[in-house]
Amino acid sequence: EAGVTQSPTHLIKTRGQQATLRCSPISGHTSVYWYQQALGLGLQFLLWYDEGEERNRGNFPPRFSGRQFPNYSSELNVNALELEDSALYLCASSLSGGGAVQYFGPGTRLTVT
């Protein structure tokens, strides 16, 4: 069974541009979570989508947004990129509802120059 997949693996953008990151959950999982992990730091919760709806949001500015599609895949958009947005962006999926064990993808390394 395929795990969580993310694309692209690496993304290089310049300050002020927009970045779009994509995630496909494990088959049967309807919840998708996004985390930011800056170099050498822990996981900071960004967004949680379940059944197409945004269920919760971490302490990040509105220029971090996303959506979940009918097939439960998800997209994270970061507008007006800043240098400090450079990080590994991790997507995780779980069975529906909060509290279910999360399984992570390999991440997208975003570099903002």
Cα distance between residue 73 and residue 71, in whole Å: 6
Cα distance between residue 111 and residue 113, in whole Å: 6
Name the minimum Å distance from CB 80 to another protein.
26
The closest alpha carbon to 25, from 100, 91, 89, belongs to 91
Cα dihedral 101, 79, 88, 107, rounded to 10, equals: 50
Q: Judged by CB under 8 A, which of 13, 30, 79, 106 binds another protein?
A: 106
Site residues for another protein, window 4-63 (CB under 8 A)?
4, 35, 41-43, 45, 48, 55-56
Instruction: Reduce the DSSP state of residue 63 to 3 states and report it.
Output: coil
Q: Of 13 and 88, which CB lies nearer to another protein in the complex structure?
A: 88
Q: Answer yes or no: are the C-beta atoms of 58 and 111 closer than 8 Å.
A: no
Q: Judged by CB under 8 A, which of 65, 88, 95, 111 binds another protein?
A: 88
Name the minimum Å distance from CB 91 to another protein.
8
**Residues lying near another protein in the complex (CB under 8 A):** 4, 35, 41-43, 45, 48, 55-56, 88, 90, 92, 98-99, 101-107, 109
